[in-house]
Amino acid sequence: MAIKTFREAINEALREEMRRDDSVFLIGEDIAGGMGGHDGAPGSSGGMLGVTRGLYNEFGSDRVIDTPISESAIMGAAAGAALAGMRPVAELMFMDFFGVCFDQIYNQAAKFRYMFGGQSNTPMVVRGMVGAGFGSAAQHSQALWPIFTHVPGLKVALPSCPADAKGLLISAIRDEDPVIFLEHKVLYDTKGEVPDGEYATPFGIANVTREGEDVTIVAFGRMVLFANEVADRLAGEISVEVVDPRTTSPLDTEVIIESVECTGRLIVVDEANPMCNLASEVISVVATEAIGALKAAPIKLSAPHTPVPAAPNLEQAYIPSADEIEQAVRRVFAA
Amino acid sequence: MAIKTFREAINEALREEMRRDDSVFLIGEDIAGGMGGHDGAPGSSGGMLGVTRGLYNEFGSDRVIDTPISESAIMGAAAGAALAGMRPVAELMFMDFFGVCFDQIYNQAAKFRYMFGGQSNTPMVVRGMVGAGFGSAAQHSQALWPIFTHVPGLKVALPSCPADAKGLLISAIRDEDPVIFLEHKVLYDTKGEVPDGEYATPFGIANVTREGEDVTIVAFGRMVLFANEVADRLAGEISVEVVDPRTTSPLDTEVIIESVECTGRLIVVDEANPMCNLASEVISVVATEAIGALKAAPIKLSAPHTPVPAAPNLEQAYIPSADEIEQAVRRVFAA
Amino acid sequence: MNKESALRAYRTMRLIREFETQIAREFAAGTVPGMTHLYIGQEAVAVGVCHELGNDDFIASTHRGHGHCIAKGCDVGLMALELFRKEGGICKGKGGSMHIADVSKGMLGANAIVGGASPLAGGAALAIKLRGQANVAVAFAGDGAANQGTTLEEMNFAASLKLPLIFAIESNGYGEHTLADYAAPGDLTERAAAFGMAAEKVDGTDFFAVHAAMERAVKRAHSGKGPSSIECVATRWHGHFEGDPQLYRPKGEVDALRRNSDPLKKFRATATKKKLGTKKEFDAIDADVENEVTKAVEAALAAPQPDLSELLTDVYATY
Amino acid sequence: MNKESALRAYRTMRLIREFETQIAREFAAGTVPGMTHLYIGQEAVAVGVCHELGNDDFIASTHRGHGHCIAKGCDVGLMALELFRKEGGICKGKGGSMHIADVSKGMLGANAIVGGASPLAGGAALAIKLRGQANVAVAFAGDGAANQGTTLEEMNFAASLKLPLIFAIESNGYGEHTLADYAAPGDLTERAAAFGMAAEKVDGTDFFAVHAAMERAVKRAHSGKGPSSIECVATRWHGHFEGDPQLYRPKGEVDALRRNSDPLKKFRATATKKKLGTKKEFDAIDADVENEVTKAVEAALAAPQPDLSELLTDVYATY
Ligand SMILES: Cc1ncc(C[n+]2csc(CCOP(=O)(O)OP(=O)(O)O)c2C)c(N)n1
Ligand SMILES: Cc1ncc(C[n+]2csc(CCOP(=O)(O)OP(=O)(O)O)c2C)c(N)n1
Ligand SMILES: [Mg+2]
Ligand SMILES: [Mg+2]
């Protein structure tokens, strides 16, 4: 075990899987950087936020492939190469760019296996940044996971800590289906214990990050950190259980329902915009399958139904906060 | 009042609004047809399913504009023209094509007003076909409204009958914000009474298509027809109220909650794939805001988490049916 | 090209013609579910492009994909089952006409998204390049699809990464009901060339012309010179889809095409001149093919629908 | 061009240079939130393109949009407030650097999506065409954005519909950290020409060259001849974004650019030769502009953040 950043954990997962399996390659924009430049230029960037740093230098231009600014071509490159037997990991940089290339993901890669009657596997990963809090405004700060989760054929991973970032990415790369791997940009510099060597964190298995008996908080991605903070704040006063589903598709509804059956009180925190998001999904699952367990109305905490504002104070107000979560816990506990 | 088809109602709305307002124009692929062809060719199609028939002949090539197969350019043409003061109605043919052009819709048109601090209006309509039941398989049969509904800045209309198709489209064209107007292809040939002359059906106001006291069915689009059928079948036995929200964004939660407060029993029928869909959203709203009113667990009926299969028998099994709805009503009533 | 190879090419073109002709008849009879776009008139393109390709060469196809499938070696019996959406279809009846595929044959699927194929073919080409194989990938695109951003961006992308990718642009003069000249003022071959790839325009009704251009493109790809574009000028004899009233077409256009632009007639004439086949041999192939397709269609009509349990399978390899 | 007009052009170029220089200083000081991409080195492009445009002409811009804003007449005081994301900003502080816009001035926004601008500019051009106005729309796109499908498809689209649209391609040699030659083997001007539009390549550090090409393009647009492309070869003096270590650039490259490719120096030299301005006049403008920008930045630094209630406004005109 060693303490690593979220960024280092992702880099390590990529490196180890590329060493393990020759069919794994990376493709995207400036994941190497400096292509076409002077001798020292190629590989000098390693991604806009340094996540792929050093990989070009170790694996070269056939395994770490920089491209023109052509996301449909990049996604098609991954989907087509996967059909042809490779294991591509494509970077979309900011997932907000999915709007220019989603067809290759949702109509093509996600549907091949079904449309082709089970003939094919499509082992590809699409990595990209999500989330607000970085000051990157309306077109570079979105959550978007409800959209990816809605699409049959896609799997969606949303790690909240370095250990899961590494373990889920290794699982994603080894998975035979297309996986959307979402990296919350505000988490890159967060640190945590990361087991040494190779390990795969399975999809569809929620992680209970805090055990408790009074209130269940289901939180996604960065919101898990806030939920944990609130659980710790309230320790001794209100016993809060925090459930981190880790993947939104598949979604571990079992662990969520078990938790609610024990606590009888549910709060769901999703940074995504509110309509048809994961908080709605989780509350709907509990209401249809375990309503009898609820001692109080569940509480949904999400961003408002607005784009992400540029101004730092507005952006902070946009993101669900630990204080809002704490108030919600007190409210639902009192009910 | 006259009996008209869903298709005729949409055509009428377009025609009347174009007559009323010179700034309204249509743009898309083969909405006229035959461009570049012999004398009689231009205007000879009127859309792949004939929805825009005759409009080119009445309004000419400056108001009914056929384009190359370039959906990003079409959506940009609408968004840019709207910013510049026009009122474009862009056809996407099958909404499934949104994957090649969504950026222009969700990152551009939907966000202008917010990103620009309220400087601009973007009065544009994107029309397109949705839904299964036509044998058009995985890439031409999707529902997709949960994705559009999730996006702040977009409004989403989903008419279930000719009268609403006309009234909602007129409202959409007059609206100052971008509207996604969804036409279920299986409804085109359905008939219904359509008020004569111009009328606008407001957004965000649900339509109670059947009044009842025992069970509330909230149904979307084509599913409203099935829900009505079930309500009629069970008349005298179980009193079923059917709520058709008509627009998914804005969503009329008030009428839904009022209905559930009266019946205490809720079924939501959404043809869309199940994860993060409108059924989840409605159930979540009721669970968080009116759980006390529920006498039984709400029931969610949706398509399965699969692409739309080509085989007719599989496709029928994919779509929620009147029989499934009837069984659900009996189950929730007995509970 | 030797005689055996030429007769094989003719047989494949005839197989496409016969298959599409019988599907057209069945569609008119109402036995074919959904939308269908037929390939008649363009047979020389698919066969000219695919004739020398093997299962390790990939193609990505379009909504008008039956011809590409047959040319790439897909079984017409399994294809017929798929078009009728029956059990045992090449995609278990779950794909249908616009998603017909046989990955084991390197046929990565028809595609219901115009412009959807090019990026995928680019991915297959990338896999070939990374594995150092002496193979190619082909992106089929119509003259309408050539105006879709995905196709255009893939042309630059493939040139930038020197992918062993060949764009087979089928210029049949129409995109749905719109004439190609209206939709694209520029010349498609010049457009491709401007991206820095070898680009040529050939008579797409002449198998030998397409085949020769393809040989040049494959050689370039194998020698690491990157992508090529072959614009094949051919004609579409049927409507955009079956049931299309085609009011946008001048009267008599199609009759003239049948008379003057028949890829099979042209093939017979040229091959006979080149001593690559005799009338007797061609006629024998025609009869044999008709019989094969008739059997395939009859079997497909008689076959059962897929089992209902198939609705929920094949969404994920694991979930 | 008369002297008044030339001095106005110089003033605008200097305003861009000074604004960006002070923003760079503030960014380094940590007072500018979020990402910022500066325009220094390319001033002659924005000003050459926009110099003769009015409020009824539209431009759609890029992530590197400050220069386009200033050239299109946006108020630097309101721009500064926006970059610092303060109350009273041109977008109320809700847009920031990459969404800065002034629709009343025909500036349809910077854009954080590479290739996002071209289709939008096409829409503005369509509105102009439908209303029969003697105006144009300009799509700014970098040499990297030129490889995005949206840009390429818009070129064909605009040619097909004969839109009064001008593509201003800014070839600064880089897309982020990737060299333009690596990303695009083809020549961008030939690529544009192949779509059937008038296309020329000019020295983007020479205001007069850009301005002259623009005059030709505007004339074509007004006479109904459709779109044009002007590839402006200029240089980027700063990193892709502020804070970019630029390891991909050869040492000394930027110093050489400052010495040899300074659009303002070039302007002064040419204008002086042409008797369109004197050193005294240029120096006076420089001093005046520095003072204007300094005031704007000080005011913006001192301004309050937006009121929290602004979070929920401006999502819809009506909901
Ligand atoms: C992205 C997308 N846009 C539009 C369509 C509708 N559509 C189906 S086929 C077609 C015409 C394609 O023309 P072309 O590429 O020339 O192929 P052809 O039909 O002539 O073989 C169109 C517009 C689609 N399927 N996908
Ligand atoms: C669709 C999309 N892809 C990628 C990016 C990330 N990105 C921002 S700027 C940029 C480079 C753009 O290069 P160019 O068009 O040459 O403009 P320049 O920065 O040189 O002015 C990239 C790749 C983006 N913002 N949007
Ligand atoms: Mg065509
Ligand atoms: Mg550049």
Name residues contacting ligand 2 (CB within 6 A): A 29, 69, 71, 93, 97, 100; D 63-64, 112-115, 142-145, 172, 174-176, 236, 240
Taking only residues 39 to 98 of chain B, the set having a beta carbon closer than 8 angstroms to any beta carbon of chain C reads 40-41, 44-45, 48, 66-73, 96-97
Confidence of residue B197 (pLDDT cuts 50, 70, 90): confident
Mean pLDDT (whole number) for C97-120: 98
**For A289, which residue in chain B has the nearest alpha carbon?**
B297
- Residues C230-245, mean pLDDT to the nearest whole number: 98
Chain A residues with CB-CB distance to D315 below 8 A: 305-307
| Angstrom distances, CA of residue B318 to CA of A153, C143, C277 | 15, 35, 51
- Would you state the pLDDT for residue A171? 98
Of A72, A136, A313, the CB nearest to D308: A313
- Of A92, A96, A306, A314, which to mutate for an interface test with D (greatest number of D Cβ within 10 Å)? A314
Q: How confident is the model at residue A197 (pLDDT cuts 50, 70, 90)?
A: confident
**Residue C157 host element (H or E):** helix C149-160
Given a contact cutoff of 8 angstroms between Cβ atoms, the answer to whether C193 and C224 are in contact is no
Using the Cβ of A104 and the Cβ atoms of chain B, whether some distance falls under 8 Å is answered with: yes
| Encoded tokens for B256 | 């839904």
pLDDT in tens, D93-122: 999 999 999 999 999 999 999 999 999 999
CA A66/CA D181 separation, integer angstroms: 13
Side-chain half-sphere exposure of A60, counting CA atoms within 13 A: 4
Do the chains contact at B116 and D315, CB–CB below 8 Å?
no
Q: Which of C33, C178, C312 sits opposite B135 (nearest CB)?
A: C33
pLDDT above 90: residue A262: yes
Å between D111 CA and nearest CA of chain A:
8
Q: Where are the beta strands (DSSP E) in chain C?
A: 58-60, 137-142, 165-171, 174-175, 178-179, 198-203, 228-233
Distance of alpha carbon A330 from alpha carbon A198, whole angstroms: 41
Q: Quick check: D126 contacting B, CB < 8 Å?
A: yes
Q: Which residues of D278-288 are buried (b: 16+ CB within 10 A; e: fewer)?
A: eeebbeebbee
Q: C114, C148, C150, C242: which to mutate for ligand 1, most atoms within 8 A of CB?
A: C114
What is the structure's pLDDT at A1?
A: 82
Sign of CA dihedral D301, D304, D310, D311: positive
Question: Measured between CB atoms, does A175 come within 8 Å of chain C?
Answer: yes
Q: Is D157 on the interface with C (CB under 8 A)?
A: yes
Is the CB of C195 inside 8 Å of chain D's CB atoms? Answer: yes
CA of D194 to the centre of ligand 3 (A): 19
> Stretch A256-279: mean pLDDT, rounded?
98
pLDDT in tens, B248-283: 999 999 999 999 999 999 999 999 999 999 999 999
Q: What is the pLDDT of residues D137-169, one digit of tens each?
A: 999 999 999 999 999 999 999 999 999 999 999
Q: Phi-psi category of C275—alpha, beta or left, where left has phi over 0 and alpha has psi -120 to 50?
A: left
Instruction: Quick: pLDDT tens for B324-335.
Output: 999 999 999 999
Closest-CA distance, C13 to chain B, in angstroms, reads 27
Rounded CA-CA distance A127/A150 in Å is 18
Distances (CA, A) of B319 to A151, B103, B307: 16, 29, 11
The pLDDT value recorded for residue C81 is 98
Q: How many angstroms separate the CA of residue D128 from the nearest CA in chain C?
A: 21
**D89 to chain C, closest Cα gap in Å:** 36
Report the distance separating Cα A22 and Cα C86, nearest Å: 39
CB A155 within 8 A of CB A250: yes
Write the DSSP string, A78-116.
HHHHHHTT-EEEEEEEEGGGGGGTHIIIIIIITTHHHHT
Instruction: Concatenate the DSSP letters of all residues of B232-266 into one string.
Output: HHHTTTS-EEEEE-SEEES--HHHHHHHHHHH--E
For chain D positions 272-311, those within 8 Å of chain B (CB to CB) are: none
Residue owning tokens 């590494």 = A166
Is the CB of residue D138 less than 8 Å from the CB of residue D57? Answer: yes
How many Cα atoms are found within 13 Å in the side-chain-facing hemisphere of C218? 21
What ipTM was predicted for this assembly?
0.98
Written as six digits, the tokens of C64 are 């008008």
Residue D19 clears pLDDT 90, i.e. is over it: yes
CA–CA separation, D212 vs D274, rounded Å? 15
**Is the Cα dihedral A92, B127, B192, B139 positive or negative?**
negative
Q: Is the CB of B97 under 6 A from ligand 1?
A: yes
- In chain B, the percentage of residues whose pLDDT exceeds 90 is 99
Q: Is the pLDDT of residue A47 over 90?
A: yes
More confident call, A79 vs A197:
A79
pLDDT value for D83: 98
pLDDT score of B1: 82
pLDDT for the residue D78? 98
Model confidence at C319, in pLDDT bands (50, 70, 90)? confident
In the residue annotation, A140 being an active-site residue is answered as yes
Which residues lie below 8 Å from residue B184, measured CB to CB, with a gap of 6+?
A: B129, B130, B131, B158, B160, B221, B222
> Is residue D44 within 8 Å of D207, Cβ to Cβ?
yes
Q: Residue D188 in 3-state DSSP?
A: helix
Mean residue pLDDT of chain C comes to: 98
- pTM flag (> 0.95): yes
Per-residue pLDDT band at C84 (split at 50, 70, 90): very high
- β-strand A125-130 against A87-94: which pairing, if any? parallel
Q: Helix (H, G, I), strand (E, B), or coil: what is residue D237?
A: coil
Q: What is the pLDDT of residue C170?
A: 98
Cα(B224)–Cα(B197) distance, integer angstroms: 25
Residue-wise pLDDT for C33-43, tens only, equals: 999 999 999 99
Q: Is B119 on the interface with C (CB under 8 A)?
A: no
pLDDT tens digit sequence for D215-254: 999 999 999 999 999 999 999 999 999 999 999 999 999 9
pLDDT digits (tens, 9 = 90+) for B102-153: 999 999 999 999 999 999 999 999 999 999 999 999 999 999 999 999 999 9
What is chain D's mean pLDDT, rounded? 98
